[in-house]
Structure 1
Amino acid sequence: MAEGGVMGGAFEIAAPALSALAALGAAAVGGLFFGFSNFIMAALARRPAGEGMAAMQAINVTVLNPALFALLFGPAVLAAAAAALAPSTAALAAVAVYALGCIGVTGTRNVPLNEKLRRADPQEPGAEALWRDYLRRWTRWNHLRAAACFASAGLALAA
């Protein structure tokens, strides 16, 4: 249909709405990651290593659920749809920053660390060293994920 027609008007409304929803989702995920970086991991680090490890192992099991997957992957899908409808530098950057900084880092950095922790016995010798290394490395990558989510949210709003 010609520009300004019914479909043109729908796209003009859909792209900003999708961008806003992508920004909201990315900010929510960023807030979740920020909470882990800011106080959850610090609280777990204050517990004896075996307790902290066991708590994080439990978190890593319960976090794998459809609601988290929708929240984690939803902003990427929404931002990509918005960028497809109304391509702009900000829209494309929102997709790239979220895909690489949130999903990419999660899959290549945080998940492998979680898998290593899952296989560990909190009561075995060496568990404390493993736990301290995990805390340091996982939290560092989590800071990056949080920052990428917040940056993507800002870019989606600017699109």
Structure 2
Amino acid sequence: MLQMLITGLLWFSAIGCGLLAGLYFAFSTFIMTAFGRIGQASGIAAMNAINAVIVQSLFLPVFLATTATSAALAVMALFRWGEPGAMAMLAGGVLYVLGMFVVTMIFNVPLNNALAAADPASQEAASLWARYLTDWTFWNHVRTVASTLACALFIAAIAAK
């Protein structure tokens, strides 16, 4: 019974990590570059619109549930250390929680909040937008890599069972 639960959590986490990795990958590889090319006011407006809508979409439950299941898998791995896949479970869970969730909360969300509070047409917004494009995107690269690696590690844990 517990093994079925763990396998289900691994599948859910792998799929959740994969979905979020794909979203972050899109932002890292072309969306942020496109926003940088459309001009400050338009780029800020577009990003603010996305940030307002994303927390009201299916993204948020997937984001939170994947974080919770990844953390749970990391803890379960400690109690099942000698079993096949435990190391991958632990590594995937820790990597995802730290590299995706913690990075989001410490870096990306405060940058989003600062952008939302800015007047897109102001002189202050110009420096904020330039910093946002580099800093937010850098931390998004971290989230992309962490989510992708966590997905792979959860798949490895499934394969080891």
Residue ranges of structure 1 left out of the alignment (5+ in a row): 1-9
Structure 2 unaligned residues grouped into runs of 5+: none
Residue in 2 aligned with 1:116? 114
Q: Work out which of the residue numbers 132, 145, 148 in structure 2 matches 1:147.
A: 145
Tell me, yes or no, if the aligned pair for 1:15 and 1:82 is still in contact at 8 Å. Answer: yes
In 2, the alpha carbon distance for the partners of 1:156 and 1:103 equals 17
TM-score by length of structure 2 reads 0.86
Contact 1:121 1:127 in 2 (8 A): yes
CA contact (8 A) 1:110 1:141 kept: yes
Task: Give the whole-Å Cα distance in 1 for the aligned partners of 2:73 and 2:116.
Answer: 37
Q: Which moved more, 1:103-112 or 1:122-131?
A: 122-131
Alignment of 1:74-153 (within 5 A): 74-83=65-74, 84=76, 86-87=80-81, 88-153=86-151
For the Cα contact (< 8 Å) 2:108–2:136, is it kept in 1?
A: yes
Matched length: 150
Q: Distance in 2 between matches of 1:80 and 1:100?
A: 10
Read off the aligned partner of 1:55 and give its amino acid letter: A
State which of 27, 38, 59 in structure 2 corresponds to 1:36.
Answer: 27
* Deviation (angstroms), 1:127: 1.9
In structure 1, give the amino acid aligned to 2:16: G
**1:105–1:80 distance in 2 versus 1, CA, 3 Å:** closer
TM-score, normalised by the number of residues in structure 1: 0.87
Counterpart of 1:57 in structure 2: which amino acid? N
How far did residue 158 of structure 1 move?
A: 1.4
1:64 is aligned to 55
* One-letter code aligned to 1:72: F
CA-CA distance at 1:66 after TM superposition: 5.3
Q: Which residue of 1 aligns with 2:156?
A: 158
Aligned partners of 1:150 and 1:95: how far apart in 2? Answer: 12
Identity %: 37
Moved over 4 A (4+): none
Q: Deviations over 1:48-81 (max 9, x none)?
A: 1111111111111111125222111222223344
Q: 1:77 & 1:129 partners in 2: Cα distance?
A: 36
CA RMSD, 1 decimal? 1.6
CA-CA distance at 1:136 after TM superposition: 0.4
Larger radius of gyration: 1
Letter in 1 for 2:132: Y
